[in-house]
Amino acid sequence: MAIARPASVPIGAIAGPVLGVETSCDETGVAVYDPRRGPGAGLLAHALYSQVDLHAKYGGIVPELASRDHVRKTLPLIREVLHAAGISARGLGGVAYTAGPGLIGALLVGAAVGRSLAWSLGIPSVAVHHMEAHLLAPLLESDPPTFPFVALLVSGGHTQLFRVDGVGRYTLLGESLDDAAGEAFDKTAKLLGLGYPGGPAIERLARDGDPGRFDFPRPMTNRPGLDFSFSGLKTCALNTLQQEGDDAQTRADIARAFSDAVVETLAIKCRRALTETGLKCLIAAGGVSANGRLRERLAEIAAGLGARVVYPRPAFCTDNGAMIAFAGALRLAAGHREPLAFKAYPRWPMAELPPAA
């Protein structure tokens, strides 16, 4: 069945602001983005409900609890965001929702709500790839980067370097062969007795650490290529903890050595990616790109190459609805539409995405 669309609206044009719904993991994110406004001015409202407290006592995300909480929070957040944007649901021009990759039960909540809402309003909807949304998030800001650029995607589930030539024109340059950087932060935080999520906790503890006490390896930097491997660093942290005892200072020193190793490895590979592609712009996105030390190091390597480094604002490095509304608006403008039989994809390689133009 075709999606009802007012006859006056040609495919590609969007008749109003786009609602974005993110429920792929442990944050319910909702936003309204109006693509008819200029760069940096399109975001009308956004809200986030984090489930961190819900999962903290389990030391990680419990998928079934995540799904149930999205069921409770998605509709109230949509109402809140529409109110803050000063529009009614009838004023929307499209709905974008995260369809993958992520936790299947969690994804299905946002997909079902987003697709049904679009159907009931007679407006188009589009399934958004969560990592594409992270990658495009820096373009939401004023003074956005222009294509082509190198993108470092560092989240809880992914560590990837891409050459980006346009929306949907992504060439994978390298990726983690085992744990993602964020996953390594989370696992190491757990063995250091820190809470979930581990990245911010390790970043805080590492500030008290002595950088000279332990020297962890920079995995896979001594050989050519742009792939990563982070699982050995967590083992390194565990062995060090067992050998050195676990007083507070030792934990801080391990956090520092671990964090320096991850940050330096990411920085070395980003420098290599910029050098090999000859591009002069790097964007970094995903939860780990909120890390202050990583930002300092990437700024240094970019400056050394006469390149620019661009990030989303810190709140849009981690999961959020704004990046979904924005990526969805770009895809809707390119004519992409989701049929009524919507799906969610726990795994969804970015290489499968079609170019948007």
Which residues here bind ligand KG4, judged by CB under 6 A? Answer: 25, 155-157, 182-183, 185-186, 197-200, 203, 286-288, 290-291, 318-319
Task: Compose the 63-92 pattern: x for residues touching Zn ion by CB under 5 A, - for all others.
Answer: ------------------------------
Answer with the entry of ligand KG4, Zn ion, none that 291 interacts with (C-beta below 5 to 8 A by kind). ligand KG4
The answer to whether 34 contacts Zn ion (rule: CB under 5 A) is no
Range 142-161, binding Zn ion (CB under 5 A): 155
CB of 162 to ligand KG4, least distance (A): 15
Answer with the entry of Zn ion, ligand KG4, none that 227 interacts with (C-beta below 5 to 8 A by kind). none
d(CA 198, CA 195): 6
Structure tokens belonging to residue 182: 């964020």
CB of 25 to Zn ion, least distance (A): 7
d(CA 107, CA 97): 9
Asked if 111 contacts 99 with a C-beta cutoff of 8 angstroms, the reply is yes
Answer with the entry of Zn ion, ligand KG4, none that 174 interacts with (C-beta below 5 to 8 A by kind). none
d(CA 35, CA 266): 33
CB of 131 to ligand KG4, least distance (A): 7
Pick from 70, 58, 88, 57: which is nearest to 26 by CA?
70
Answer with the entry of ligand KG4, Zn ion, none that 95 interacts with (C-beta below 5 to 8 A by kind). none
Query: For residues 25 and 118, which CB has a smaller minimum distance to ligand KG4 in the complex?
Result: 25
The answer to whether 259 contacts Zn ion (rule: CB under 5 A) is no
d(CA 265, CA 276): 16
SS3 of residue 95 by DSSP:
strand
Query: For residues 82 and 285, which CB has a smaller minimum distance to ligand KG4 in the complex?
Result: 285
Structure tokens belonging to residue 337: 């539409």
The answer to whether 250 contacts Zn ion (rule: CB under 5 A) is no
Query: For residues 119 and 185, which CB has a smaller minimum distance to ligand KG4 in the complex?
Result: 185
Number of residues that bind Zn ion (CB under 5 A): 2
Burial class (CB in 10 A: 0-12, 13-18, 19+), 150: buried
CB of 238 to ligand KG4, least distance (A): 18
The answer to whether 27 contacts Zn ion (rule: CB under 5 A) is no
CB of 203 to ligand KG4, least distance (A): 4
Asked if 50 contacts 126 with a C-beta cutoff of 8 angstroms, the reply is no
Query: For residues 82 and 152, which CB has a smaller minimum distance to ligand KG4 in the complex?
Result: 152
d(CA 116, CA 135): 27
Output the CA torsion sign for 172, 327, 294, 237.
negative
Strands across the sheet containing 43-50: 43-50, 27-33, 18-22, 94-100, 125-129
**Can you say whether residue 195 is alpha, beta or left, with left for phi > 0 and alpha for psi between -120 and 50 degrees?**
beta
d(CA 69, CA 109): 10
CB of 319 to ligand KG4, least distance (A): 4
CB of 135 to Zn ion, least distance (A): 11
Strands across the sheet containing 281-285: 169-175, 159-166, 149-154, 281-285, 308-310
CB of 185 to ligand KG4, least distance (A): 5
Query: For residues 17 and 219, which CB has a smaller minimum distance to ligand KG4 in the complex?
Result: 219
For Zn ion, the binding residues (CB under 5 A) are 155, 319
